[in-house]
Amino acid sequence: MTSRAQGWEGWDAYAPFYDWENAQTVARRDVAFWQRLALAQEGPVLELGTGTGRIALPVIRAGVRLVGIDRSEEMLERAKTRLRRARLQHRGLLVRGGLFGVDLVPDLPRWSEYKGRKSFAGKKGRDGRLTLIESVRQDRARRLTIFDHEYIESRGRERRVHRFSLTFRTLSVPQMTRRLEAAGFRVKAVLGDYRGGPWDSRADVWVILAEKK
């Protein structure tokens, strides 16, 4: 029997590199958006896929009660460490009227396949260097997009290679909104950028905001 990759596999291995890669891509351009949105709510906020707490920490620092959910234990351990160092608590519940925000990766099924591409390279820590070699595969029959990652970590003469894969099964924005509505949410907005602009299928950012009924 051939084993099939599940969507949550690979994220524990990705945890040590998650913040570094986000610094190369989105940086902090989404942080202020989530802070403003969270501060505008009267109740607690739910973050789905909280990862290492990259967004959760600045939102909580702003005075918001927040619940973070993530399937990766390694990601959550890093989030807990980040919050402990900041002497903050990660708490709260999504009650009626609470806000649910989800930031989707835009339209992965349209991504071109490629192999062995050097995506990012840069410093990591005081004297280390990290390089990401990435390949993308599409399993269109199963509607999966698979990222094969090879992180090359070097420090002086030492060199370590970390290999793992991340598998995504994507939903369109209409599909996701229908699922949220079926789960008891009222969709308030669908955005195409972090400035509050409207969404369309070509947007670089897919953000859905929903309210618990």
Q: What pLDDT digit, counting tens, does each position of 106-135 carry?
A: 888 788 899 999 999 999 888 899 999 999
91 and 115 share one domain:
no
Give the model's pLDDT for residue 3: 47
Give the model's pLDDT for residue 116: 96
86 and 187 share one domain:
yes
116 and 188 share one domain:
no
Note whether 52 and 18 are within 8 A (CB): yes
pLDDT in tens, the chain (213 residues): 344 555 557 899 999 999 999 998 888 889 999 999 999 988 778 888 889 999 999 999 999 888 888 989 999 999 999 888 887 754 544 567 777 888 888 888 788 899 999 999 999 888 899 999 999 999 988 888 999 999 999 998 899 999 999 998 878 899 999 999 999 999 999 999 999 999 988 888 999 999 888
Whole-prediction pTM: 0.79
Give the model's pLDDT for residue 5: 54
Give the model's pLDDT for residue 208: 92
118 and 73 share one domain:
no
136 and 191 share one domain:
no
102 and 182 share one domain:
yes
17 and 97 share one domain:
yes
108 burial type by CB count under 10 A (0-12 exposed, 13-18 middle, 19+ buried): middle
128 and 142 share one domain:
yes
Give the model's pLDDT for residue 86: 83
38 and 125 share one domain:
no
Total domains in the fold of the chain:
2
C-alpha distances in angstroms, 18 versus 7, 144, 178, 189? 16, 21, 30, 28
> Whole domain around residue 165: which residue ranges?
108-169
Residues β-bridged to residue 124: 128
43: its two tokens: 């109740």
119 and 199 share one domain:
no
202: its two tokens: 């070509």
Q: Which of 108, 113, 111 is nearest to 172 (CA)?
A: 108
Percent helix, strand, coil in the chain, to 5, is 25, 35, 40
Residue 191 falls inside a structural domain: yes
The letter for the amino acid at 87 is R
Residue 4 falls inside a structural domain: no
Cβ count near 157 (within 10 Å): 5
Residue 18 falls inside a structural domain: yes
88 and 22 share one domain:
yes
Torsion from C-alpha of 28, 169, 111, 105, nearest 10 degrees: -20
